Amino acid sequence: MRILIVEDKRSLAENLGRALELEGHAVAYAADGATGLRLGRSAQFDVILLDVMLPLMDGFAVIRRLREEEVRTQAIIVSGRDSMRDVVYGLDAGADDYLTKPFLLEVLLAKIRAAARRVPAPEKQSLQFVDLVFRPERYEVQRGERVETLTRTECALLEVLMRRPRQVVPHAALIEAGWGGDCEVGYDSLYVFIRALRGKITHKGEAELLHTVRGVGYTLRHSSS
């Protein structure tokens, strides 16, 4: 895979790059957010790994700009900022995953492998539940006249739910769909992504469609169905 590392700490970036190259990946570097944005726009990378605290432009802004320009390259934030607020903000900006420092290299490699697996196939047809229309080939969900852009992880989660409407999808099945079986992802991380997805599916005044079944999983259900 082709991986872009956006990190201003040179030693950290080089150590991480060497480890990734030993795994067979091709690595490029950017030492500030503006350079990371410029290189990320080229769409020549499979995964972008980036810190939050960067010179010129922070990592959140880089991801948000890339998504606004419809660059769908998998983006994983790797940051020492580990508050739930930062995680939610990063995912809302368009990140596909969030890994806090310090981390085990094995965990990062598992997340990269998972990123390679969760690209929605372009030929997939649209799915519909009540007034919710999911278009995986466009990374978007539409409800009424409102269209929301999804990250690849959100696409993977929503597809499982859309294909099993009115059924309770267990936590484990959603984690498998979103991150793969060899990636250690907890229920807290799944909750953050579901929370972001729910915010895109349902706005104020609209009937809730994505429901929590406490201790079990999540389901797409309309009160009249």
What's the CATH number where 163 sits? 1.10.10.10
Question: Are residue 25 and residue 78 in the same domain, yes or no?
Answer: yes
Question: Are residue 108 and residue 17 in the same domain, yes or no?
Answer: yes
Report how far residue 212's alpha carbon sits from residue 194's, in angstroms, rounded to the nearest whole number: 9
Is 122 inside any structural domain?
A: no
Question: Are residue 7 and residue 72 in the same domain, yes or no?
Answer: yes
Question: Are residue 131 and residue 113 in the same domain, yes or no?
Answer: no
pTM score of the predicted model: 0.62
Is 152 inside any structural domain?
A: yes
Q: What's the mean per-residue pLDDT of the chain? A: 89
Q: Give residue-wise pLDDT tens across range 175-213.
A: 888 887 666 777 888 999 999 999 999 999 999 999 999
Least confident interval from 10-14, 33-37, 120-124, 204-208: 120-124
Q: Give residue-wise pLDDT tens across range 22-43.
A: 888 889 999 999 999 999 987 6
Is 77 inside any structural domain?
A: yes
